[in-house]
Structure 1
Amino acid sequence: MSDIETSTVSEEGYASTSQVGDFELTIDATNEEGPTPQQVLVADYAACYLPAFRVAANKSGVDDLGKVQIDADADMDDNDDVQAIRFTIHTETEIDDGDELVSKADDICHVHDSLRSELHAEVDVNGGAF
């Protein structure tokens, strides 16, 4: 049996609906009825990286980061393939060594491990936000 099972259906055109457990997500290559697959990839990466960053902080003795926000942006080539991803992490709590947390978060984030190394996000950490 598989660990993850999804079902994706498109009745016509370029929009599809993916069923993931009890959740439904509309993804549209034309960006009319939902986000594009590339946008979902970047958002999924950030959504995985944020809790990994929290765990990394906790393992480094930072008990509470407060509010955390990841602003993600990506570059695409002429074929609409994602070529680069960048994260800027804003934390409510001041961070002494953001590079240490990034290194640990890289090891924890499952999406990070799943992507080719050329597509790993470049990450900047900014404390004292909000």
Structure 2
Amino acid sequence: MGQQVWNMDSVTGDHYTVGLYHGEDSGNVVLYMNNEVFLIDFHILDDKNYHFYVGHEFMCLSIMRKNEEYFYDLQVDRDTPTPLNTAIRKSESSDEKLLLTGMIVASILLLALFIYNCYVRYIF
């Protein structure tokens, strides 16, 4: 029987334990979070993905079969347009715009100093 446990903290600081039991012969899958079962699936003998929330984050649990062995992977799904992912993208976009504005202002100041320096040398 394949078993896997992941411990994680959400963006709000709450602790979560996500666990998986997978009967490799029967293919039966049980997923639980903080000792509460939230998904049961039967006859999973090939690759399969499950999506669910852990706190505010949207997760993707993958079951992969390679050479008669099963591998399990739990990742944060950053591609799906959830409210948290949308807010993160908006924040990143805002940060990029602020950085670009700062670089433009710094370039203008450097150019102004260079022109002033050339002007002062020419006059004196």
Q: TM-score, structure 2 length as denominator?
A: 0.25
Q: Which one scores higher on RCO, CA 8 angstroms, separation ≥ 6?
A: 1
Name whichever structure is richer in strand by fraction: 2
Give the number of the structure whose alpha-carbon radius of gyration is greater. 2
